[in-house]
Structure 1
Amino acid sequence: MPTIVLETHIDAPIERVFDLARNVERHTETMGHGERAVAGTTSGHLENGDVVTWRATHFGIPMELTVEITEMESPVYFQDREIDGPFRELTHDHYFEQLAPNSTRMRDEFQFTSPVGPLGWVVDTLVLTRYMRNLIERRNQELKAIAEGQFD
């Protein structure tokens, strides 16, 4: 199962970064691909036990992904897991560490497996890992800009 690990240093308090990372509207703003919440919790801050269905277009194909917030420890951690969607398995762990009063390390650990059986390893290795890494990196940079007040 591929694992993507990314760290983003953000000059903002941990509570601000944590709240932005779990905010449905900010997710929509920062993900691109026309992604939006279409079912479940469709606005506000996601909480432990919440379910949300995201709709977006990737590789020219409209897709829906339903995730559940399965763990949360405010303001240092939350996890979302796919419960229905295009992956065989998907888990996204979000970690937040306060480095100083206005400095936070946001760490993503993103694990997934594509649903294409024996060819899955090839698809995961050659296509999806790079695609998902770029998607998460771009989102993190936009969250960073918002958290640091550049686009408040």
Structure 2
Amino acid sequence: MRIHMLKREQHLNITLDQAWEFFSSAKNLQAITPKYMNFTITNDPGKTIYTGQLITYKVRPLLSIPLTWVTEITQVENQSYFIDEQRFGPFKLWHHQHHFSETEDGVNMIDIIHYSLPFSFLGGMAHRLMVKKRLEEIFDYRYKTLEKEFNEKID
């Protein structure tokens, strides 16, 4: 099984409290996910993040094919980090770390995603041909959306 990694870092001009409130709420995932994915949360995960929390989604990541995705919040350290792992979905492995650290002028946020695809050789081909690019597009979209939401000054 080949394990891939995607890492993204971004500085946000908000407080640690604001960052934690925004990112630890599943309801905000749709706002930072590209519209073409038709991302919809299909359960009520509640307002507060906690270890063991399950979040279920419908998503269309490739070729508009609808997929059910279930993730579990496996670790939470309040205002520091949380980790979600796929329990059911398109990946053989999905382990997503969300880290937050306060800076003098805001918050530094780091996403580290370890993932693997099913189907061995075919999964490897799919990764090279489209999955890697699609994940990069999704996190590029997230970066741009967060820049507009938290870092662009309104005069």
Contact 1:36 1:56 in 2 (8 A): yes
**Residue equivalent to 2:40:** 36
Secondary structure class of the residue paired with 2:101: strand
> d(CA) in 2 for partners of 1:125 and 1:90?
17
Q: 1:124/1:15 Cα in 2 relative to 1: closer, same or farther (>3 Å)?
A: same
Distance 2:100 2:66 in 1: 31
Identify, as 1 or 2, the structure richer in strand: 1
1:23 Cα shift?
1.4
**Cα shift at 1:4:** 0.3
1:85 corresponds to 2:89: yes
SS in 1 for 2:60: strand
Q: State yes or no: 1:20 paired with 2:22.
A: yes
Find the partner of 1:129 among 100, 116, 132. Answer: 132
Please report the TM-score for the alignment, with normalisation by the length of structure 1.
0.87
Distance 2:50 2:147 in 1: 21
Q: Percent identity?
A: 18
The answer for the alignment partner of 1:139 in structure 2 is 142
Offset at residue 92 of structure 1 (A): 0.4
CA shift, 1:49, in A, is: 1.5
The yes-or-no answer on 1:107 pairing with 2:106 is: no
Compared CA separation, residues 40 and 68, structure 1 to 2 (3 A): farther
**Cα-Cα RMSD:** 2.0
Unaligned runs of 5+ in 1: none
Deviations 1:57-104 (A, max 9, x none): 12211011100000010101000000111111101000111111x411
- Equivalences, count: 149
Q: Helix, strand or coil: the match of 1:131? A: helix
Q: Report if aligned partners of 1:20, 1:26 keep a CA contact under 8 Å in 2.
A: yes
Q: CA deviation at 1:144?
A: 4.0
Q: CA deviation at 1:40?
A: 5.1
5+ long unaligned stretches in structure 2: none
1:16 to 1:69, Cα distance in 2 relative to 1, 3 A: same
> Is 50-59 or 72-81 further displaced after alignment?
50-59
* Cα distance between partner residues in 2 of 1:46 and 1:149: 28
